[in-house]
Amino acid sequence: MKITMFFLALLFCDCGISQKADNSMILLPEGSFIMGKNTTAPSDWQPEHSVKVNSFYMDKKEVTNSQYFEFCVATNTTLPQFWGLNEFRSGPDFPDYPVVGVNYFDAEKYAKWSGKRLPTEAEWEYAARGGMVGKDFPFGDQIDSAKVNYGRKYTGILKTGSFPPNGFGLFDLAGNVWEWTSDYYASNYYEISPADNPKGPERGRFKVIRGGSWHSGAMCVQTYFRNGLPPNWVDFAVGFRCVKDK
């Protein structure tokens, strides 16, 4: 493994990739928003409820292969599950693509290593809405494949920042790859969620993922859509981004 990482490190150096060049964050202001959406059919994204979040920094883009590789070398962490597979744009040939094949625990480990943390579910939705009120997608009420990588309309995962940012200046909070959050998943959590800076249930079997992916239908990339995975799960369509307290 050490020999493999050495040669991969040389490949990244030859490409001139720098983590600093792709690791900028945006400060999101403190604010309140309506989280979830009321629908006629039973769902885990209702009832709508007002939530306040403190100001925080968020990565403009999803964590990339090059950034995650630097972490693996520094911490002797095993490379992602699909590393080296062109089909999933994973490995040194795709430095600016979002990393996939990373479970929750390793995503959390990366966040701590970089001096950050994973976003709460509330922070993630607040960021995804980009200051818009009552809209289903980060850009309005209609899905637009010119702004979102979803539904296998493209050849797969795209380079981070391939589409315009949302109102907060954040990229790919809909589509491309799902993103881990720090919250445990519970289908009825919105019925009991606190109004200030909710952090999810104290325990659970799954961790919340948000945003949908290149492989998802339009429903999954809506700002309020929720899903959950076992924290040890690795997937070809799940990545993450980090946040930091102000």
| pLDDT tens digits for range 75-123 | 999 999 999 999 999 999 999 999 999 999 999 999 999 999 999 999 9
Label residue 55 exposed, middle or buried (CB < 10 Å: 0-12, 13-18, 19+). exposed
Whether the per-residue pLDDT at 7 is higher than 60: the answer is no
Counting residues of the chain whose pLDDT is more than 90, the rounded percentage is 86
Query: Range with the lowest mean pLDDT among 28-32, 138-142, 228-232, 236-240?
Result: 138-142
Confidence class for position 6, pLDDT limits 50, 70, 90: very low
Q: How far apart are CA 78 and CA 205, in angstroms?
A: 24
Whether the per-residue pLDDT at 8 is higher than 50: the answer is no
Torsion of CA 146, 150, 155, 160, to 10 degrees: 70
CATH architecture entry for 2-245: Alpha-Beta Complex (3.90)
Query: Range with the lowest mean pLDDT among 10-14, 66-70, 162-166, 237-241?
Result: 10-14
Helix axes 104-113, 65-75, angle to 10 degrees: 80
Sorted by where each begins, the domain ranges of the chain are 2-245
Q: By the 8 A CB rule, do 210 and 225 touch?
A: yes
Q: How far apart are CA 155 and CA 157, in angstroms?
A: 7
Whether the per-residue pLDDT at 40 is higher than 80: the answer is yes
Neighbouring-strand partners of residue 178: 238
Whether the per-residue pLDDT at 3 is higher than 90: the answer is no
Whether the per-residue pLDDT at 206 is higher than 60: the answer is yes
pLDDT confidence of residue 23 = 56
Whether the per-residue pLDDT at 58 is higher than 90: the answer is yes
Q: How far apart are CA 241 and CA 2, in angstroms?
A: 26
| pLDDT tens digits for range 124-148 | 999 999 999 999 999 999 999 999 9
Helix (H, G, I), strand (E, B) or coil at 244: strand
- pTM for the model: 0.90
Nearest to 126 by CA among 194, 5, 223: 223
Whether the per-residue pLDDT at 215 is higher than 70: the answer is yes
pLDDT confidence of residue 15 = 36
| pLDDT tens digits for range 170-190 | 999 999 999 999 999 999 999
